[in-house]
Structure 1
Amino acid sequence: MTDNASESKPPSRRTVLQGATATGVTAIVGVTATSCAPTTHYTPGAVPTEPVSLGKPSDVPVGGGKIYADQKVVVTQPKSGEFRAFSAICTHHGCLVTKVKKGAIHCPCHDTDFDIADGSVKHGPAKDPLPELKLTIDGDKMTAESK
């Protein structure tokens, strides 16, 4: 007497390939989602509610800018003597912008670039500009606050 329940057939080649493909897709999706997730997430486009002290105007290069990460503010100087301050929190998913170069404020989370002159979106998935802040310069001190 044979027991059919104890006899098992090895999985077909098709079943093995389908399982391997599903596992590979799951791994790729998981890695991609993790790499796109901001390490620190803020409310998109958040602005300081109280005035924040920043560095010296001389720290901000002409045609560029400086990010004050602790204060979540970026100060730019599009032209000599023309300073602007913006929230350093991307309006797309709330990541902190990381660099200013070639006339753009860059958010690395989804590759968005904002214009240093007005905070408008130059490239990327963000739809809204960075909120502009009121910037006060008093000698060698800069202060930014919500408008």
Structure 2
Amino acid sequence: MPGRPAPSRRTVLRSAALTSVAGLGAAACSPGEDGAAPARPTAPVDLGADGEMAKGTTRLDRDHHVVVSRADDGSLKAFSTVCTHAGCPIRKLEGTKLVCPCHGSEFDARTGEVLHAPATVPLVELPVQVKQGRIVAGTGA
């Protein structure tokens, strides 16, 4: 604008840096991510020997972002442990409750259901079965 001094190089650089940092924060928590398909295992994940998982137990595989549980009737369920709120990997299992480290969302590891917001969408269920005595979950299971 005429009559207005040009911003200093320092002001321009500082503004650019703050805009970049703000953009990263917004991307991590942007609205509308609920319902977006979170990452899923792209190959079958071996979750251990079938005989080592008792009825009524839950097991978290932190490396592959999968949780598996065996109901009292012996059936298995598995879920992706990528939070449906902002895509953070969940690495904490307290009994049968999964706790997201990013914003505190909580999920039931046996059903994938949301127990505590900000997440509003359940965890993505994964196919799971026993193959050759091993519990296998994920795409292609």
Q: Which of the five TM-score ranges fits, normalised by the shorter chain?
A: 0.5 to 0.7
- State the Cα distance separating 1:91 from its structure 2 match: 0.8
Separation in 1, partners of 2:98, 2:120: 15
8 Å contact from structure 2 (residues 58, 110) kept in 1: no
> Are 1:66 and 2:40 counterparts?
no
RMSD (Å) for aligned C-alpha atoms: 2.9
Distance change in 2, residues 1:98/1:63 (3 Å) = farther
| Residues in 1 aligned to 2:51 and 2:86: alpha-carbon distance in whole angstroms | 31
Instruction: Give the superposition deviation at 1:53.
Output: 1.9
User: Does the CA-based 8 Å contact 1:44-1:92 persist in structure 2?
Assistant: no
CA shift for structure 1 position 48: 1.4
Give the residue type in structure 2 aligned to 1:96: P
- Return the alpha-carbon distance in structure 1 between the equivalents of residues 76 and 138 of structure 2: 14
In structure 2, runs of 5+ residues without a counterpart are 1-24, 30-35
1:93 aligned partner: 86
Give the count of matched residue pairs: 109
Give identity over the alignment, percent: 35
Hey, what's the Cα distance between the residues in 1 that align with 2:109 and 2:76?
10
* Match in the other structure for 1:110: 103
Q: Considering only CA atoms, is the larger Rg found in Structure 1 or Structure 2?
A: 1
**Do residues 130 (structure 1) and 114 (structure 2) align?**
no
* Equivalent residues of 1:76, 1:117 under 8 A apart: yes
1:71 deviation in Å? 1.5
1:62 shift after superposition: 4.5
**Residues 135 and 126 (structure 1 numbering): CA distance in 2 closer, same or farther, change over 3 Å?**
same
Q: For residues 9-37 of structure 1, what are the alpha-carbon distances to aligned partners after superposition, in whole Å with 9 as ceiling and x for unaligned?
A: xxxxxxxxxxxxxxxxxxxxxxxx8xx99
Alignment of 1:1-147 (within 5 A): 45-60=38-53, 62-138=55-131, 140-146=133-139
Given the superposition, is the C-alpha separation of residues 67 and 136 from structure 1 closer, same or farther in structure 2, using an over 3 Å criterion?
A: same
**Conserved 8 A contact 1:64-1:101:** no
Distance in 1 of aligned mates of 2:57 and 2:103 = 21
Unmatched 5+ stretches in structure 1: 1-32, 38-42
TM-score normalised by length of structure 2: 0.62
Scaled by the length of structure 1, what TM-score is found?
0.60
Q: Is the 8 A contact 1:63 1:103 kept in 2?
A: no
Distance in 2 (CA, whole Å) between partners of 1:101 and 1:63 is: 14
Moved more, 68-77 or 52-61: 52-61
